[in-house]
Amino acid sequence: MTKTFTHLNDHGAAEMVDVSQKQDTERVAIAEAIVYLPDDVILAISDDTVEKGDLFSVARIAGIQAAKKCSDLIPLCHAIPISKISVNFEKNKNILRVLASCKSNFKTGVEMEALTAASISALTIYDMCKGINKGIEIQKVRLIEKTGGKSGSWKV
């Protein structure tokens, strides 16, 4: 089966996909960003001495705001009614995993919103900790799961 680019018209020009005839369905997407933190950053987080404030609260709010602004940031991305956004963090030694989940009951998916939330949360962590050590690395951003819609469920 040949896949086509849905954002190109018959003349090859970019355009927003028409979703008006699609049915609303519950859609969920989960994305992750993997962030490597040097030892001195880990110590500052553990000692609660990150000078710019409450690292995880600020990064969580940044991710939530980013998901809500996704259609302003990514051309041709639909503005969708998001019913839930969550951003959580898992720390294991020098690796911080940012998990962002978005949920909607609409005609198109929330993958880009979840990816945007994870990305901006990771960038916020970098911004808040770069004064301690600029060797922080955002190593991976990816979709890890999605449910709903015509294409059904998918998981890494």
Whether residue 58 lies inside any domain: the answer is yes
Any catalytic annotation for residue 47? no
Per-residue pLDDT of the chain (156 residues; tens, 9 = 90+): 556 667 777 777 888 888 888 899 999 999 999 999 999 999 999 999 999 999 999 999 999 999 999 999 999 999 999 999 999 999 999 999 999 999 999 999 999 999 999 999 999 999 999 999 999 999 999 999 999 998 899 999
Per the structure, the complete domain to which residue 137 belongs is given by 39-147
Q: What is the spatial distance between Cα 154 and Cα 140, in angstroms, rounded to a whole number? A: 19
Given the residues 10, 47, 48, 127, select the one marked as catalytic. Answer: 127
The helix-helix angle for 55-68 and 111-129 (nearest 10°) equals: 150
Query: What CATH number is associated with residue 138?
Result: 3.30.70.640
For residue 109, what are its two tokens? 């998916």
Whether residue 122 lies inside any domain: the answer is yes
DSSP letters, 2-44, are ----TTB-TTS-B-----TTSPPEEEEEEEEEEEE--HHHHHH
Whether residue 64 lies inside any domain: the answer is yes
Whether residue 62 lies inside any domain: the answer is yes
Other CB atoms within a 10 A radius of the CB of residue 71 amount to: 16
Spatial CA neighbour of 28 closest among 95, 89, 114: 114
Whether residue 53 lies inside any domain: the answer is yes
Q: What is the spatial distance between Cα 72 and Cα 59, in angstroms, rounded to a whole number? A: 20
Pairing of the two strands 95-106 and 82-92 = antiparallel
The tally of domains found in the chain comes to 1
